[in-house]
Amino acid sequence: MKVLVTGVKGQLGFDCVNELTKRGHEAVGVDIEEMDITDAASVNRVVTETAPDAVIHCAAWTAVDAAEDEDNCEKVRLVNAVGTENIAKVCKELDCKMLYLSTDYVFNGQGTAPWKPDCRDYKPLSVYGETKLAGELAVSETLEKYYIVRIAWVFGKNGKNFIKTMLSLGKSHDTIKVVSDQIGTPTYTYDLAKLLVDMIETDKYGYYHATNEGGYISWYDFTTEIFRQASAMGRPEYSADRLHVIPVTTEEYGASKAKRPFNSRLDKSKLTENGFTLLPTWQDALQRYLKEIEF
Residues designated catalytic: 128
Work out how close the CB of 240 gets to ligand NAP at its nearest, in angstroms, rounded to a whole number: 26
Work out how close the CB of 84 gets to ligand NAP at its nearest, in angstroms, rounded to a whole number: 9
SS3 281: strand
Rg of the Cα atoms in the chain: 19
Work out how close the CB of 149 gets to ligand NAP at its nearest, in angstroms, rounded to a whole number: 9
Work out how close the CB of 165 gets to ligand NAP at its nearest, in angstroms, rounded to a whole number: 12
Residue 170 binds ligand NAP (CB under 6 A): no
Span of 16-24, 54-62, 112-120, 227-235 interacting with ligand NAP by CB under 6 A:
54-62
Residue 101 binds ligand NAP (CB under 6 A): yes
Residue 154 binds ligand NAP (CB under 6 A): yes
Q: Which of 289, 78, 15 is nearest to 166 (CA)?
A: 289
Residue 129 binds ligand NAP (CB under 6 A): no
Q: Please select the residue that binds ligand NAP; options are 133, 152, 196, 197, rule is CB under 6 A.
A: 152
Residue 11 binds ligand NAP (CB under 6 A): yes
Span of 55-63, 163-171, 201-209, 274-282 interacting with ligand NAP by CB under 6 A:
55-63
78-97 residues in contact with ligand NAP (CB under 6 A) are 79, 83
Q: Closer to ligand NAP at the Cβ: 189 or 231?
A: 189
Residue 38 near residue 83, CB atoms below 8 Å: yes
Q: Closer to ligand NAP at the Cβ: 136 or 243?
A: 136
DSSP state, residue 115: B
Total binding residues toward ligand NAP, as defined by CB under 6 A? 27
Q: Please select the residue that binds ligand NAP; options are 17, 27, 55, 59, rule is CB under 6 A.
A: 59
Residue 9 binds ligand NAP (CB under 6 A): yes
Which residue, judged by CB position, is nearest to ligand NAP in the bound state?
A: 10
Span of 6-14, 165-173, 214-222, 255-263 interacting with ligand NAP by CB under 6 A:
6-14
Q: Which of 58, 64, 65, 52 is nearest to 32 (CA)?
A: 58
Residue 151 binds ligand NAP (CB under 6 A): yes
Span of 5-13, 241-249, 265-273, 279-287 interacting with ligand NAP by CB under 6 A:
5-13
14-53 residues in contact with ligand NAP (CB under 6 A) are 31-32, 36-38
Q: What letter represents residue 228's amino acid? A: R
**Distance, first Cα to last Cα, the chain:** 37
Residue 132 binds ligand NAP (CB under 6 A): yes
Q: What letter represents residue 138's amino acid? A: A
Residues that bind ligand NAP (CB under 6 A): 6-7, 9-13, 31-32, 36-38, 58-62, 79, 83, 101, 103, 132, 151-154, 159
